[in-house]
Structure 1
């Protein structure tokens, strides 16, 4: 492990990063996505199984780190209420999953948007 906290978190496996994501988002009440210059969000389609997903991060620094080699992508915050009200129904309707907290090795937790919403609501309600 390195002294860099960002690197330490990115070295976690997909499940550990998922748990970290839930806790961080429950605390900050926002999810980070990447958008291009045309304000279109980054969508990735898995080469393995053709599953399309929206990659999300718990903070701007993680999203920015992921996009550092892309050139035209920048982090954008989505408030949790917006994510629950607009994004979850939209992603579900479009058949897109959510890729939670992609790391450097490309390993991530892919989950249906409704499931992520339930998990986040559970963490939020248990933190009171």
Structure 2
């Protein structure tokens, strides 16, 4: 399947817990929890002792470029409570985080932006970062 997501078992568990927390928030108009559950349910989940170095996971450093632009950018995908723009730690719940999680290097993906805009980005490289956390 083209652009199928591949998640580590631990990432799938963290995303599922985040989704459950978000679904409990009754006042959320467009609930990201539903989108997270969809991502987890349609992804290939790796066995507990398996890791893919070519796929974006939580705590991965990702270099990417907007499609057709030579402007390399780097971010680290983290849980929402660890997001820090100054360090380029981006929440998995952000539009780019939701688009990147589970995707493979060299894939071109669509990122849903505010005001119903879409941006295509190409994943250049994925590297593991030694940040470990759990959803509180």
Return the TM-score normalized by structure 2.
0.24
- Whichever structure has more strand as a proportion of its residues is 2
- Whichever structure has more helix as a proportion of its residues is 1
